[in-house]
Structure 1
Amino acid sequence: MTIRSATNKRTQERDFAGATRKSAASAKPARAAAGSVRVVSASAKTRRKEYEQGESLEGLSKAEKKARKQELRAKEDRMYSAANILMRQDEEYRSKRRLFWVIEGVGIAVIIIVWLMLTGVFNSFVPAGTIAVGQLVGLGIAYAFVIGGFVYGLVKIRPLRNFYKAQVAGMTDRKVIEVLEEEAEREAAKKGKGAKEKEPAAAEEPEQAQPAKKKGPKKNHRSRH
């Protein structure tokens, strides 16, 4: 049996069974992308936040990058604080927040009651069958309130929070600082008012009576006995 040479043209052009071919996805495009098509590099995800903010740390030294990152973190902290201040000033947000904690509180209270049932605190004066049913009902109520509270927060509170975050994001740095300064002035005024209310109360307290000094005849050291 003769062996065909590897340099033979028919050997080179022959397709062998089991051989893999390159997929169409790995093939090079027939032409370059159009001018309107934006080609994004693989590392764009890591720098997406920088591009969204219109800032890039490329080309900076290590110290400059560290200082720039600290500045960005401080700016984010100021924006977060300003958004919280605006939310606390909104009566609708405060009322919904209180209702959220009431719902969560009821759920937590029911969980505590069920836990007490499991420890046997009520076994002395409650039948065992009633305790078993109460545990099941209590767990259902607890889950309903806890999960319902989170759903209420997502549906009713989160949109308000996102609204104020977007509002602060659209403010200038000077405006954000003004919001923080106004809140600081209000807090200082409250503290000053509380201190003034305490001062009259302290002034009205009667002075403690000093013990009377005993008066006696003055000694004359020059007198003769």
Structure 2
Amino acid sequence: MSTRSPQNERNTNPDAKPGYMRKSAASAKPARSAASSVRVVPASSKEKRKQAERGESLAGLSKEEKRARKQAERLQEDRLYAASNALMRKDEDYSRRRKFFWVLLAAGLIAIVIVWLMIGTTRGQEMQTTQIIGIVIAYACILGAFIYDLVRIRPIRNACRSKAEGLSEKRLNNLIEKDAAERDAKKAKRESKKK
């Protein structure tokens, strides 16, 4: 800390309180309120920002009204999720990439299991290098699978989500109902084959 000068106005002025400091600029309040076209929104939480972007506030609502509003938001999110899943199921590129992701992940897990079996059953210098190579391959497959998901699959997922958000209510309902009917038909067909 710096030392205060005794010749400073705070210390030489007889009317000034001892130890008095000016407030920082960070604690300063605006001299007048914001204009009517400016919305002042506290950015304390993510949900408050989302509500402010939509132009709605839960401040004056009762507990039941807030609960009902949140339930409606969750229902809308579920519908968007179902619609985006339906769009992804129809996308052949997504299903092919998703299968490759699972193959990579399974290969990594199988390699880990093989290395654990090797560690438990054998000893020796040659086996240690083989075990290390197996561990490297296993982790490379697992990390590669997750990176592949981020780079190749996530953009498709995000595109389907944005497409579902852009649909009207009627088209959204039609898409969800059509997908549910197709899945029910496939399920019935599988059950009839089992019998």
TM-score after normalising by structure 1: 0.69
Note the residue ranges of structure 2 that are not aligned, 5 or more in a row: 1-11
Q: Pick from 15, 20, 23 the counterpart of residue 12 of structure 1.
A: 15
Secondary structure of 2:26 counterpart: coil
Output the CA distance in 2 between the equivalents of 1:29 and 1:52: 24
The equivalences for 1:1-225 within 5 A come to 10-13=13-16, 20-29=21-30, 38-41=39-42, 43=44, 45-119=46-120, 121-123=121-123, 128-193=124-189
Output the CA distance in 1 between the equivalents of 2:70 and 2:39: 28
Output the CA distance in 1 between the equivalents of 2:94 and 2:101: 10
> How many residue pairs get matched?
184
- More helix by percentage: 2
Deviation at 1:149, TM superposition (A): 1.0
Deviation at 1:174, TM superposition (A): 2.0
Residue identity in the other structure for 1:183: D
Larger Rg: 1
Output the CA distance in 2 between the equivalents of 1:37 and 1:60: 23
Secondary structure of 1:12 counterpart: coil
Moved over 6 A (4+): 195-199
TM-score after normalising by structure 2: 0.79
RMSD: 2.9
Secondary structure of 2:51 counterpart: helix
Change (3 A) 1:29 1:189: closer
